[in-house]
A and B are shown apart, each in its own frame.
Chain A
Amino acid sequence: MIEFDLDLQRGNFQLHASLSSEASVIGLFGPSGSGKSTLLSLLTGSLQPQHGRIVVDGRCLLDTARGINIPVHQRRIGMVYQEGRLFPHLNVRHNLSYGLQLLKPAQRRFKLDDIVALLELGPLLEQRPRQLSGGEQQRVALGRALLAAPQLLLLDEPMAALDDRLKAQILPFLRRIKDETGVPMLYVSHALHEILALTQHIAVMQAGRLLAHGDAYAVLGMEHVLPLTQSLGLENLLKLQLLPSPQESGCSMALCGQQQVLLPHVEAAAGSEISVVIPASSIALARQRVVGISIQNQLHGTIRAIRTHDQRALLSIDVGAELLVEITEKSRQDMGLQCGDSVYCLFKTQAIRLLGHQRKTESIHAGPAQVSASQ
């Protein structure tokens, strides 16, 4: 449970943000410079607002009206930064236990060994931060923040400095933290697919304001949010079920709902759940299945919703998962596309980006399609 209402005026920059949410993980999404990091600094207490109130789990951390202002080190708000910020003079073990050893035994929530096991840090314990890769540093930073037993964990673009391959390595750990620790999280990013890989609950920030928050699909479809997501480029995040790959093709096959998708080769066992990103503008629509074309993926679906903005049409299509497709308004009118129409969604194998995979066999169905935008 997090609740805040903050006002900050610094030079020309003005921030006004208020939110009250029960969601265990909230994704805070917005373009660079929208005030996301400033908001986090206000929450941790390293920056002071002119007016404001912060309540986490019923504990009031700040209330300017009542003169309450808990100092940073007593707020119990954990922070994971883009650049790790591991202490260079301490090895991994001492970095991890830095916050832990400051806690009274009754306040401790996790044991060092448990977090080391959860984040697979065992082999790194005696190493110095400099010897670690970017992804390893972020894992240590996550562990260090968790061991300080935060009531709320803030993640400030923790994967922004990592390439797709390293992101794919971190993502399962973030999911584990979400599923196994129960620590509420506020995950900040300007890449929506990262957020959607963790949560459906998003808050959108622009120019120092929180525009909206709630279910991702509802929020992104809002009239005043749409221009923002279109300018950032929309992406679909799909969770697919990997099938045994055909030997000769050099590609992998996966299931999206009941339909097959051909994607670039994935180094994972059949049955694994994989997350892939497909830009909404990389998908073409056709009334019938197209023959004599190089595009392999043609998913059949039904148009669920259409929104138009600035000569662009955004269509939500149910292909067994929800897929967002962006075409020009002219194309839509020429084809006469309406809600309820049956269409084929065409996209090239090369348009698919692999984000991560997880060994998981219990679920057969692909997750619900998710809308995503990235820079």
Chain B
Amino acid sequence: MDWLYFTAAETAALLLSIKVALWCTVISLIPGVATGWLLARKDFPGKPLLDSLVHLPLVLPPVVPGYLLLVLLGSQGIIGQWLQQQFGISLAFNWKGAVIASALMAFPLMVRAVRLAIMQIDTRLETAASTLGASKLRVFLSITLPLAAPGILTGLILAFSRSLGEFGATITFVGNIEGETRTLPLAIYTYTQVPGGDAQAMKLVVLSVLLALAALFISDALERRAARHLASSSHD
């Protein structure tokens, strides 16, 4: 077997994994920051419930959120039917559904990173900004967000990595369709189920390891840069 030659199916799995992970990161950003901020800063009646709900995917077997997604967002699901009728959007058994599944699984990691970062910000800096004439929104955009940036970055990298490794929820919700929902972990799983597919599986395993290492390397470099930036500017 040629280690440098990729079949169309293998290439598709690799590119799909990256596409799904990138989209997962993109759509997690705003809800993740908003939820992290809400949990870090606000007290409201349903807060413990929201906190628990956000963290559920972290503790449930991934197949459970996947099944719930299928029930709710699938073509027969309440939300799924509504989306189909109102916007013509279908999430069932396509790559968009895979994005939703991995975003749901990655969400707690994103929220935790953002919440921690926001909790560490000195709120007195925000008070100072408001006495200088900044509205609440401006304080958030010009003080809170930049100071939380390293934590938000960490959250995004965690979401990206989690998405690359997503298996259970994805296969339950959107199945294992080549070129559509068969990401690297699903492709590896498929090859291990076929007689004589071990070598191909191993090839993808090596590829996964390289991809994970690359992601870790990039995240490490970014975090170092953020930490350096913070160290050179933090107020003592």
Contacts of B127 in A (CB 8 A): 44, 46, 72, 85
Instruction: Tell me the chain B residues, 110-157 only, with Cβ under 8 Å from chain A.
Output: 122, 124-125, 127-136, 138-139, 142-143, 146-147
Interchain nearest-CB distance for B225 vs A (Å): 14
Contact pick for A79, options B125, B131, B229, B233, CB 8 Å: B131
| A148 with B235, Cβ < 8 A, contacts A46-B127, A87-B125 known | no
- Shortest B44–chain A CB gap in Å is 19
- Candidate in A73, A79, A88, A98 with the most chain B CB atoms within 10 angstroms: A88
A145 touches B234 (CB 8 A): no
Cross-chain contact A73 with B130 (CB below 8 angstroms): yes
User: Would you give the shortest CB distance from A54 to chain B, in whole angstroms?
Assistant: 14
**Would you call B43 an interface residue if the criterion is a C-beta within 8 Å of the partner chain's C-beta atoms?**
no
Residue on B nearest A77 in the bound complex, by CB? B131
> DSSP class of A's interface residues: helix, strand, loop or mixed?
loop
Contact A144 B132 (CB under 8 A): yes
Among B122, B127, B146, max chain A CB count under 10 A is at: B127
Chain A residue, CB-CB nearest to B147: A89
Contacts of B233 in A (CB 8 A): 88-90, 128-130
User: Do residues A103 and B133 form an inter-chain contact, with CB atoms below 8 A?
Assistant: yes
Most chain A beta-carbon contacts within 10 A, residue among B128, B132, B143, B147:
B132
Q: Within 8 Å of chain B (Cβ to Cβ): is A173? A: no
Bound Cα distance A145, B127 (Å): 13
Return the chain B residue nearest A131 by Cβ.
B232
Q: Are B125 and A99 in contact (CB under 8 A)?
A: no
A85 touching B128 by the CB < 8 A rule?
A: yes
Q: Check A102 against B147 for contact (C-beta < 8 Å).
A: no
- Cβ of A148 and Cβ of B132 under 8 Å apart? yes
Please judge, given known A-B contacts A81-B124, A130-B233, A130-B235, whether A88 and B133 are in contact too, CB under 8 Å: no
Residue of B nearest to A40 (CB): B131
Closest residue of chain A to B131, judged by CB?
A79
Chain B interface secondary structure, helix, strand, loop or mixed?
Answer: helix
B2 within 8 A of A: no
> Given the interface contacts A85-B124, A85-B125, A102-B138, does A73 sit within 8 Å of B235 by beta carbon?
no
Docked pose: A237 CA to B134 CA in angstroms? 39
A307 to chain B, nearest CB (A): 40
Cβ-defined contact, B124 with A87, below 8 A: no
Contact (Cβ within 8 A) A102 B125:
no
Q: Count B-side interface residues using an 8 Å CB cutoff.
A: 26
Interface flag for A30 (CB, 8 Å): no
Q: Is A86 an interface residue (CB 8 A)?
A: yes
Q: Tell yes or no: A184 within 8 A of B by CB.
A: no
**CB-based contact A86/B132 at 8 Å:** no
Q: How many Å from the CB of B215 to the closest CB on chain A?
A: 26
Output the least CB separation between B3 and chain A (Å): 46
Known A87-B143, A102-B138; judge A128-B232 contact (CB<8 A).
Answer: yes
A135 CB-CB contact with B under 8 Å: no
In the complex, whether A158 has a CB less than 8 A from a CB of chain B is no
Q: A81-B124, A87-B125 are in contact. Are A44 and B235 (CB under 8 A)?
A: no
Find the residue from B127, B134, B136, B235 having the highest chain A CB count within 10 A.
Answer: B235
A99 to B138, CA, bound (A): 11
Judge if A78 is at the interface, Cβ distance under 8 Å. Answer: yes
Are A99's CB and B232's CB within 8 A? no
**Chain B hits for A71, CB < 8 A:** 135
Residues of B within 8 A of A167 (CB): none
CA distance A38 to B132 in the complex (A): 19
CA distance A277 to B75 in the complex (A): 83
Residues from chain A with Cβ under 8 Å of B147 in the complex? 88-89
* B235 and A86 within 8 A (CB): yes
Q: Which of A74, A79, A102, A128 contacts B128 (CB 8 A)?
A: A79
Partner of B129, one of A75, A78, A98, A130: A98
Residues of chain A contacted by B133 (CB below 8 angstroms): 73-74, 76, 99, 102-103, 148
Could you tell me the distance between the alpha carbons of A44 and B128 in the complex, rounded to whole angstroms?
10
- Can you pick out 30 interface pairs between chain A and chain B where the beta carbons lie within 8 Å of each other? A44-B127, A72-B127, A75-B131, A76-B133, A78-B132, A79-B131, A81-B124, A81-B128, A84-B235, A85-B124, A85-B125, A85-B128, A87-B125, A87-B128, A87-B129, A88-B125, A88-B230, A88-B234, A89-B146, A90-B233, A98-B132, A102-B132, A128-B232, A129-B233, A130-B233, A130-B234, A130-B235, A145-B131, A145-B132, A148-B133
The 7 closest A-B pairs by CB, nearest first: A99-B132, A88-B235, A85-B128, A102-B133, A72-B130, A79-B131, A148-B132
Query: Which residues of B approach A to under 8 Å, CB–CB?
Result: 122, 124-125, 127-136, 138-139, 142-143, 146-147, 229-230, 232-236
Query: What 7 additional pairs, Cβ within 8 angstroms, besides A85-B124, A87-B129, A145-B132?
Result: A72-B130, A79-B128, A88-B233, A88-B234, A98-B134, A130-B232, A145-B131
